[in-house]
Structure 1
Amino acid sequence: MELDELYRTCRSVRRFEQRPVPEKVLHEMLEHARLVSCASNKLPLRYIVVKSPDMVAAMQPLMKWAALLPPEIGAPKEDELPTAFVVVIQAAGAGAFRDVDTGIAVSAMTMTAWKEGVGSCIMGSINVPKVRELLHIASADTPRLALALGYPKQTGYTVDVPVGADIKYYLDEQGCFVVPKYQMADIVRIV
């Protein structure tokens, strides 16, 4: 897949087929997250891969899906849940740019996964105390987000809208996520 196609087609996936993500894909995702740039090369991030069915099941209730939609529409059903998670942890003393570093690493992982046909959803709304307890994360470290993973059972696409238009994502008649994006001319100024 070409880079432009990756960016145009990689959307959050909230409904997954029930087949495991291959080790090779998980390894490549984490290798790319490890290699990308980070502020002052502080290397502030740690990762926990959750892939055993029991642990994946234990993670499910600790996530909040599609905040802009009612749960019955935005949340996956029992046979649509992700088959793996990567929990991104900010180590103690991660520094002022820890969220920037997290975003860069997660972008690398989502694009790597999508290149291999694996969908993802960046879960920022997680129950931090319960995730910390479940995964035995040190109190000095912060589980910042979870990346839900699996083969997509749904698709999504973008539509261009002018600045000021409603930008809430929604489901179309076929159950695909529609994600409004501002038009390039409205958000970029070249001087």
Structure 2
Amino acid sequence: MSVRDIIKQRRTIRKFKQDSIDDSILKDLVDCARLAPCASNKQPLEFVVVKDKKVCAKIFENTGWAGYISPKWTPNEGERPTAYIAILVNKVRATKWIGHDVGAAFENIVLAAWELGIGSCIIGSIKKENVAKILNVPDEYEVDTIIALGYKGHESYAENNDETVKYYMDEEGNFHVPKRPLEKVIHFDRF
């Protein structure tokens, strides 16, 4: 599968099979994140890989899921992620471009995971102080983003739609995600 194919096929996954992900795969995903571009080559990011079921459960309790689904929805116990990668920011090394650094790193993780048949959900709705305590994060670091990982337990479809950004779950438990059509977002030479 080409990089372009992965980019166009990859969707957020919010329900997971309960098969564990091998340590070597998780290590490789972090290696892909480590090699992402970063501002001034400051390399301010570090990563905590979580696989232990008890720790995963604590992380899950401190994250928000699928904000557009009503009534409030989270994956059931047998559908939750089997691993997480927490992206930490070294506050001393961080530049004003830290958001770009984090975005490049998590994009590498989710694309590399998809190539291996692993689904992911980029989670920004985090009780960061609680997660920092759970993961024993030193004071000079801050929890920025968490990537939930697991083998996918549903399908997710991108659909051209310029009228809404609200994704939804169908009767079979699959997600449908509106994406603005290319013609609405591309401009050549001038706006």
Question: TM-score interval w.r.t. the shorter chain?
Answer: over 0.9
The whole-number CA distance in structure 2 between the counterparts of 1:177 and 1:87 is 24
For the residue of structure 1 that corresponds to 2:5, the secondary structure is: helix
- Aligned residue number for residue 90 of structure 1: 89
Shift of the 139–78 alpha-carbon distance from structure 1 to 2, 3 Å rule, reads same
Count residues with an aligned counterpart.
188
Percent identity of paired positions between Structure 1 and Structure 2? 32
- Aligned residue number for residue 75 of structure 1: 74
Give the structure-2-normalised TM-score. Answer: 0.94
- Aligned residue number for residue 141 of structure 1: 141
1:5 Cα shift? Answer: 2.1
1:14 Cα shift? Answer: 0.7
Q: For residues 26-51 of structure 1, give each alpha carbon's deviation from its aligned partner in whole angstroms, at most 9, with x where no partner exists.
A: 12111111111111101010100011
Counterpart code for 1:86:
I
The whole-number CA distance in structure 2 between the counterparts of 1:70 and 1:172 is 12
Shift of the 139–57 alpha-carbon distance from structure 1 to 2, 3 Å rule, reads same
Contact 2:6 2:111 in 1 (8 A): yes
The whole-number CA distance in structure 2 between the counterparts of 1:143 and 1:71 is 28
Contact 1:168 1:180 in 2 (8 A): yes
Contact 2:69 2:169 in 1 (8 A): no
Shift of the 71–40 alpha-carbon distance from structure 1 to 2, 3 Å rule, reads farther
170-179 or 60-69, which deviates more: 170-179
- Aligned residue number for residue 161 of structure 1: 161
Asked if 1:42 is matched to 2:42, the reply is: yes
The whole-number CA distance in structure 1 between the counterparts of 2:122 and 2:147 is 5
- Aligned residue number for residue 108 of structure 1: 108
Map 1:4-19 onto structure 2 (within 5 A).
4-19=4-19
Unaligned 5+ residue runs, structure 1? none
Q: CA RMSD in A?
A: 1.2
Give the structure-1-normalised TM-score. Answer: 0.94
57-66 or 3-12, which deviates more: 3-12
The whole-number CA distance in structure 1 between the counterparts of 2:15 and 2:99 is 26
Shift of the 71–89 alpha-carbon distance from structure 1 to 2, 3 Å rule, reads farther
The whole-number CA distance in structure 1 between the counterparts of 2:171 and 2:5 is 24
Contact 1:65 1:71 in 2 (8 A): no
Counterpart code for 2:174:
C
36-45 or 133-142, which deviates more: 133-142
